[in-house]
Amino acid sequence: MILVTGANGQLGRRIVQHLIARAPALLGGQLAVSVRDPARADDLARRGVHVRQGDFSQPESLARAFAGAERLVMVSTDGPRALRIAQHRNAIQAAREAGVRHILYTSFMDADAAAPTELAVVHKDTEAALADSGVAHTIVRNTLYADDLCLQVAPDMQQDVLRLPAGDGAVSLVSRNELAQAIAAAALAPRLDKRVYTLTGQASARYADIAARIARVRGKPLRYQDVPVDDYIRDLIDHGLPAWFAAALGDMFRCVGEGRFAATTCDFAALVGHPPKSLDCLIHEFYAPRNPS
Ligand SMILES: NC(=O)c1ccc[n+]([C@@H]2O[C@H](COP(=O)([O-])OP(=O)(O)OC[C@H]3O[C@@H](n4cnc5c(N)ncnc54)[C@H](OP(=O)(O)O)[C@@H]3O)[C@@H](O)[C@H]2O)c1
């Protein structure tokens, strides 16, 4: 049985959908999810997915949630650093005690740096905990979600300046949905050749270039402006983001500026069988004006 954690989240739910699409036979009792609120996974239960309650902050819930799982797709949680580190360690220990044979963990680019970005520090710790656990595991390091561009370019789309502290650094973006597709493929693979897969776009691009491409597609000007990281963090806090998260994003874009999110690999294609969508294709999906139906 394959068990996916975090299946009420945006990535976890898409992983489950791709698993079902690729292997419908799993619905005959071989697919389970663990979520904090089972009522929100009713649709999955109706389709034949075993829905279990599990909270990484409550280890006793995980013993029940993970029982009988052979493969665990462990989706990283959100929240401040210390909380996530403890949660991930709880989940790994519970998986080991439940006899899980293989853990597939959704990590983050930069997790192997000597001094990883604030967001990647958690993943570095979790990768180390997996190595110490003795449980066979595969690490899938995700690049930045292309979907988040929609938040960076204000949701009302009226903004004409994309302000980020990313300097001249390039990023390789992939949509959440495609990342989920690759993770589902990895979870179903009879054999995985690598211990660490790094999922990136086909190519990387600088934010000045990304802004120009968005402008072309939406038919409205958009230019990139590099801003000081402290101004960016203050702005996010003024707009209601928790201080820890604002600081973590500021740190991440600083590292983008250092070129640490620019790498590209062929790992997506190795898992899925074809490359991920091009940046232009993604931008078109997110920004092309919709014809009223
Ligand atoms: N690569 C990137 O650009 C990027 C961007 C944002 C986030 N991330 C990371 O990727 C993860 C998945 O992304 P997403 O888009 O699905 O985020 P999301 O929609 O905000 O979902 C958050 C996920 O965290 C889980 N979670 C939170 N607290 C938990 C706890 N105490 N116990 C168990 N699970 C808990 C949730 O599980 P439930 O199903 O129980 O709600 C949910 O699956 C995030 O949590 C974060 O670590 C990566």
Average the pLDDT over 127-138 and give the result.
98
For residue 184, count CB atoms less than 10 angstroms from its CB and return exposed for 0-12, middle for 13-18, buried for 19 or more. buried
How would you classify the pairing of strands 31-35 and 50-53?
parallel
Range with the poorest average pLDDT among 22-36, 173-187, 234-248? 234-248
CB-based contact 145:176 (threshold 8 Å): yes
Nearest CA to ligand 1 atom 13: 11
Q: Tell which atom from ligand 1 comes closest to the C-alpha of 143.
A: 1
Q: Give the residue carrying structure tokens 């390091």.
A: 141
When the pLDDT of each residue in the chain is averaged and rounded to a whole number, the result is 95
Q: Tell which atom from ligand 1 comes closest to the C-alpha of 37.
A: 40
Average the pLDDT over 97-105 and give the result.
98
- Token pair of 20 as six digits: 């079902």
Task: Kindly list the structural domains of the chain, giving each domain's residue range(s) and its CATH number in brackets, ordered by start.
Answer: 2-142 (3.40.50.720)
281 Cα: distance to centroid of ligand 1 (angstroms)? 25
Nearest CA to ligand 1 atom 22: 9
Residues with CB under 6 A from ligand 1: 5-12, 35-36, 55-57, 75-78, 87, 106, 108, 142, 144-145, 148, 176
Average the pLDDT over 199-214 and give the result.
96
Average the pLDDT over 69-78 and give the result.
98
Q: How confident is the model at residue 253 (pLDDT cuts 50, 70, 90)?
A: very high
Of 291 and 113, which is predicted with more confidence?
Answer: 113
Residue 153, pLDDT above cutoff 80 = no
Which one of 53, 76, 78 would you pick to mutate in the ligand 1 pocket, going by the greatest count of ligand atoms within 8 A of its CB?
Answer: 78
Q: How confident is the model at residue 150 (pLDDT cuts 50, 70, 90)?
A: confident
Q: 164 has which bridge partners?
A: 226
Phi, psi of 282, deg, nearest 5 = -65, -45
- Would residue 242 be called left, alpha or beta, if left means φ above 0 and alpha means ψ between -120 and 50 degrees? beta
Which one of 53, 77, 144, 200 would you pick to mutate in the ligand 1 pocket, going by the greatest count of ligand atoms within 8 A of its CB?
Answer: 77
User: How far is it, in rounded angstroms, from Cα 198 to Cα 27?
Assistant: 29
How would you classify the pairing of strands 50-53 and 136-142?
unpaired
Residue 167, pLDDT above cutoff 70 = yes
Residue 286, pLDDT above cutoff 70 = yes
Average the pLDDT over 257-267 and give the result.
97
Q: Tell which atom from ligand 1 comes closest to the C-alpha of 176.
A: 15
Residue 135, pLDDT above cutoff 60 = yes
242 Cα: distance to centroid of ligand 1 (angstroms)? 16
Residue 59, pLDDT above cutoff 70 = yes
156 Cα: distance to centroid of ligand 1 (angstroms)? 24
Q: Tell which atom from ligand 1 comes closest to the C-alpha of 8.
A: 39
Q: How confident is the model at residue 154 (pLDDT cuts 50, 70, 90)?
A: low
76 Cα: distance to centroid of ligand 1 (angstroms)? 6
12 Cα: distance to centroid of ligand 1 (angstroms)? 8
CB-based contact 187:19 (threshold 8 Å): yes
Q: Tell which atom from ligand 1 comes closest to the C-alpha of 35.
A: 40
- Would residue 167 be called left, alpha or beta, if left means φ above 0 and alpha means ψ between -120 and 50 degrees? left
Query: From the centroid of its chain, how far is CA 25?
Result: 26
Q: What is the pTM of this model?
A: 0.96
78 Cα: distance to centroid of ligand 1 (angstroms)? 5
Q: Give the residue carrying structure tokens 């690999």.
A: 265
Q: Tell which atom from ligand 1 comes closest to the C-alpha of 56.
A: 32
Helix axes 118-133, 81-98, angle to 10 degrees: 20
